[in-house]
Structure 1
Amino acid sequence: MPSLVTSALPAGSLGAQAQPDLPVRPGLALRPWRVDDAPAVRAAFDCPRIQRWHVRRLDGEDEARAWTARWAQLWRDETSASWAVVDADDRPVGQVGLRGVLLEEASAQVSYWVVPAARGQGIAASALGALTRWSFTRAGLHRLALEHSTANVASCRVATRAGFPPEGLLRGSVRHTDGWHDMHLHARLRTDGPI
């Protein structure tokens, strides 16, 4: 059945170009994941807090390599994208990404995490801000949203600091290892102004 609304972004808007490196702030940048980042990813997913909120673990180097390698195809498919947040020595200290990209709606969900040693430095909010600016000014997206458990106070702070106001509560919408969680929904529109 044909749509009465044309797609907000044409196919190829992301996948036809190389995934860019993005500056964040001095000593911090975003770059596409590489297979040789697998040990850093494995170490990150050994963190109990990352496992708690992302409900995933990696059981070995092969899984970590597969995790890093899959992002290139997802970028080409224009369905998801992920960047390593790297320090001045090009070491991954976190992740920020787009999930559920919908070119038709020019929208996506965002995700982020930071390794324990790098927490408390504003890295997640800065990285999310850089990704948001690129998403709105270069990628042409209209809306970015994020959800986090109401129990994840740190994630709520990141969302707010990055300019994502709360939009509502999704009751019992995500199941974690300890049961169903209510989720806060935050979102930002391109028309909300500079970050």
Structure 2
Amino acid sequence: MPETFPETTLRSERLTLRPFSALDIPGVQVGCSDTATQRWLPLARPYTRDNATTWCTVTAHALRESGDGIHFAVTGHPSARLVANVGLRHTDWDTLTTEIGYWVSPGARGDGIAAEAVRRVAEWLFTERSFERLELRAAEGNTASRRVAVKAGMTQEGVLRSAGVTHGGRVNLVLFACLPDETVPGDDVGRRM
């Protein structure tokens, strides 16, 4: 049986990161149908309610159970409304390295939610799971995602030429990474749980 992450719920000052459920289907459909999300992520087009249902009730859980990673429904306090998705994938259990990705719902953008969620997952990954490296790949033209990486305390390491695919074709990916001793100093995200 492959190594896996345990089913987990994380909290930060403003957010709860928890497993996906059927309650998230409408929010996932809205977030994954959005033009900006569709521009940078090669999701189904159109992104239907059936796609959202499969993600929330089957795929997100199967990816955790397979050892690939773990995906969180990100909700705000106190509304518990889905505001984002953040997840780990391509986990290498031998080197304790994984890749993080995210999308944010249209109405929740620009409020630092993605950076806060990334920092919280990184803190959990390094302190409770003893991982050694967290990577993030953002399309070169996706300036919003690249800003999130920097705000989350990640270091840009280089450009992977023609390494990504979007609906518009192949794109260069900017590689960011964070190591256990490189968390954002003075940031209390997740420390007031």
In the superposition, the TM-score normalised over structure 1's length comes to 0.87
* 1:49 lines up with 2:13 in the alignment: no
Match of 1:93 among 83, 104, 107: 83
Q: 1:68 — aligned with what?
A: 56
Q: 2:111 — aligned with what?
A: 121
Q: Which moved more, 1:152-161 or 1:185-194?
A: 185-194
* 1:83 lines up with 2:86 in the alignment: no
* 1:136 lines up with 2:126 in the alignment: yes
Alpha-carbon distance in structure 2 between the residues aligned to 1:152 and 1:193 = 23
Change over 3 Å in CA distance of 1:188–1:62 after alignment to 2: same
Alpha-carbon distance in structure 2 between the residues aligned to 1:55 and 1:72 = 20
How many aligned residue pairs are there? 182
Given that 1:36 and 1:65 are in contact with CA atoms closer than 8 Å, whether structure 2 keeps it comes out as no
Q: Secondary structure at the match of 2:65?
A: helix
In the superposition, the TM-score normalised over structure 2's length comes to 0.88
Q: Secondary structure at the match of 1:25?
A: coil
Match of 1:167 among 152, 157, 166: 157
Change over 3 Å in CA distance of 1:13–1:194 after alignment to 2: farther
Q: What is the CA distance between 1:179 and its match in structure 2?
A: 2.6
Structure 1 moving runs of 4+ over 6 Å: none
Alpha-carbon distance in structure 1 between the residues aligned to 2:47 and 2:103 = 19
Runs of 5+ unmatched residues, structure 2? 186-193
- Greater RCO (Cα-Cα under 8 Å, separation 6 or more): 2
Percent of counterpart pairs with the same letter? 31
Alpha-carbon distance in structure 2 between the residues aligned to 1:121 and 1:145 = 22
Q: Which amino acid in the other structure matches residue 126 of structure 2?
A: F
Q: 1:172-183 residue pairs with structure 2 within 5 A? A: 172-183=162-173
Q: Which amino acid in the other structure matches residue 179 of structure 1?
A: G
